[in-house]
Chain A
Amino acid sequence: MESEDEEELVSSDDNEKLCDRSDTAYVTNHLALPASCRILVRNGTCLYYTEWNRKTHLSMSKDEEFKLMYGMIFSIKSFVSRISPYDLKDGFLNFKTSKYKLHFYETPSGLKLVMNTDLTAGNIRDVLHQIYSNIYVEYIVKNPMCELGVPIKSELFKTKLDDYIRGLSVFPMKLS
């Protein structure tokens, strides 16, 4: 089942040097399950964006989209933790509209991963965690040519991420 329109938030800014861990690496995948994937860095710069099935595009520029995304994530996170009637375990996980679902995962180091999928996706926190530990840490952190906090340019990372997402069982076979 495909959703009729999926919105993707993707933004890639140039990243600035970070001095404190507040950037978010924002990787959002829109899975057509996945449709778009963004990695945001702590200070709101987007390290990486990719999309698979994005159907509609927003009218604003990528930069604006990223800033919007970062601001929204930041606000929702703090809102969720403040309004919670219980002690928070994980905090903000995802939100759902009638057309798409946005998943969020933040690492202790401040890297934020955002993924947009359609409504059939369940909890893909594990997927985001795998992306972080098996792909980001392996191919970006361990790559001497990739500075942390800088938009990702490594081809290897792109390939591995793409292969991983396409290999997931939730990804539709007929994806072009």
Chain B
Amino acid sequence: MAQLSDAVLFEYLHIEIVGYIHRCADENEKDHCIAKLESLGFRVGQSLVERFTRESTRFKDELDTMKFICKDFWNSVYRKQIDNLRTNHQGVYVLQDNKFRFLTQISNGKQYMDVAPKFLAFPCGMIRGALANLGVNSVVTAEVSAMPACKFQIQIQRT
């Protein structure tokens, strides 16, 4: 029961953060809102992953890291796992979540789809932050084709 109420707190807080950032932005700064949310998520993801991997060993390779994100990380944050992970083995991974937590209450189809990106910026940042702290530099984007399913595309940056 305590776990359930924690999750609701996080969801409400996230909704409010998104609303706040958008309200506080001036007209010509609207585009920065998504970027701000993403960087907020980045910092949170970094810290979260420190905590979650306290007890575990180092990851063997990139794929292992990705699996960790899909299973343990997603489980701890959203109480479910990623439904589908695809990769082209050349540094691009696509994570598909068929019932993304932040979207399930908004709509079940096409309604409100245009506002979905606002609520995906923070999760994208979280993934990027988590990966960064595990030693993987990446660019994360999200797309929604039908609520509440969404896909996160991770592109590994190799220098």
When chains A and B are docked, how far (Å) is the Cα of A130 from the Cα of B106? Answer: 19
| Residue contact B108 to A145, C-beta cutoff 8 Å | no
| Residue contact B111 to A143, C-beta cutoff 8 Å | no
Instruction: Give A51 Cβ to nearest chain B Cβ, in Å.
Output: 22
Question: B111 touches which one: A138, A142, A144, A155 (CB < 8 A)?
Answer: A155
- Which residues of B sit under 8 angstroms from A145, Cβ to Cβ? 106-107, 112, 115
- Which residues of B sit under 8 angstroms from A66, Cβ to Cβ? none
Interface residues on B, range: 10 to 19
| Residue contact A154 to B107, C-beta cutoff 8 Å | yes
| Residue contact B15 to A144, C-beta cutoff 8 Å | yes
A contact set with B: CB distance below 8 Å: 138-139, 142-145, 154-156, 159
| Residue contact B109 to A143, C-beta cutoff 8 Å | no
B contact set with A: CB distance below 8 Å: 8, 11-12, 15, 18-19, 105-109, 111-112, 115, 119
Residue of B112, B115, B119 most packed against chain A (CB within 10 A): B112
Instruction: Give B109 Cβ to nearest chain A Cβ, in Å.
Output: 7
| Residue contact B105 to A138, C-beta cutoff 8 Å | yes
Known: A144-B119, A145-B112, A154-B111. 19 other contacts (CB 8 A): A142-B8, A142-B12, A142-B105, A143-B105, A143-B106, A144-B15, A144-B18, A144-B19, A145-B106, A154-B106, A154-B107, A155-B107, A155-B108, A155-B111, A156-B105, A156-B107, A156-B108, A156-B111, A159-B108
Instruction: Give B41 Cβ to nearest chain A Cβ, in Å.
Output: 16
Instruction: Give A121 Cβ to nearest chain B Cβ, in Å.
Output: 29
Closest chain A residue to B109, Cβ basis = A155
Closest chain A residue to B115, Cβ basis = A145
Instruction: Give A84 Cβ to nearest chain B Cβ, in Å.
Output: 36
| Residue contact A144 to B106, C-beta cutoff 8 Å | yes
When chains A and B are docked, how far (Å) is the Cα of A156 from the Cα of B113? Answer: 12
Closest chain A residue to B116, Cβ basis = A145
- Which residues of B sit under 8 angstroms from A155, Cβ to Cβ? 107-109, 111
Instruction: Give B21 Cβ to nearest chain A Cβ, in Å.
Output: 12
When chains A and B are docked, how far (Å) is the Cα of A156 from the Cα of B99? Answer: 14
- Which residues of A sit under 8 angstroms from B111, Cβ to Cβ? 154-156
- Which residues of A sit under 8 angstroms from B19, Cβ to Cβ? 144
Closest chain B residue to A155, Cβ basis = B111
- Which residues of B sit under 8 angstroms from A159, Cβ to Cβ? 108
When chains A and B are docked, how far (Å) is the Cα of A154 from the Cα of B12? Answer: 18
Closest chain B residue to A144, Cβ basis = B15
When chains A and B are docked, how far (Å) is the Cα of A154 from the Cα of B19? Answer: 18
- Which residues of B sit under 8 angstroms from A144, Cβ to Cβ? 15, 18-19, 106, 115, 119
When chains A and B are docked, how far (Å) is the Cα of A78 from the Cα of B19? Answer: 39
Instruction: Give A38 Cβ to nearest chain B Cβ, in Å.
Output: 22
- Which residues of A sit under 8 angstroms from B106, Cβ to Cβ? 143-145, 154, 156
